[in-house]
Amino acid sequence: MKKRIIVVEDSNADYMAMSHAFRKFSADVDLVRYESGETVLNYLENNITEGEVKSNTLTMILLDLNLPEMDGKTILNRLKNNVLLSLIPVVIFSSSANQRDILDCYRLGANSYIQKPYSYPEMESLIFDLGNFWINRCEFPDC
């Protein structure tokens, strides 16, 4: 079964690098990109079903912090305060190494916080590790 990962990322370069690395990781991963908080929240809050969450079809959300109009912390807060959406793992994927950002995200319920790598080989290695953990290793509850 194909696993879907939602990527909330406004940078074309970062998304292209992630996308290429995920294609190398597995053909069974379907990336869906949103470039702003409003569009992803509108989609998730109005279209995700309980069945999708229970079946783990939607595997995770990769969320950038620095987005236009609505920042990643606001998006994370809304996701984690929604009974259905709170079960979807959210991985913060940001260029920020600011300890305040990291602490805020964990307090808001982020499942992990990863600083974006600076080179493509590092991105590829990170995506392989991330995919292997969240797709191949992680156990999710039967809701």
The Cα–Cα gap between 63 and 48 comes to: 17
* Class level of CATH domain 3-137: alpha beta
Q: What order of strands is seen across the sheet that includes strand 3-8?
A: 29-34, 3-8, 58-63, 90-94, 112-115
pLDDT over 80 at 96, yes or no: yes
Residues comprising the chain, all counted = 143
In this prediction, residue 21 carries a pLDDT of 92
Q: What is the pLDDT of residue 48?
A: 80
Max CA separation in the chain (angstroms): 39
Over residues 111-131, the pLDDT tens digits come to 999 999 989 999 999 999 998
For residue 87, give the amino acid letter. L
For residue 120, the model assigns a pLDDT of 92
Residue with tokens 């869906």: 32
**Residue 93 scores a pLDDT above 70:** yes
Each residue's pLDDT tens digit, 37-68: 999 999 988 888 776 665 667 789 999 999 98
**pTM metric for this prediction:** 0.91
Q: What's the mean pLDDT in 23-43? A: 90
pLDDT at position 53, please? 66
Domain ranges of the chain: 3-137
What pLDDT is stored for residue 142 in this prediction? 66
pLDDT in the model for residue 138: 82
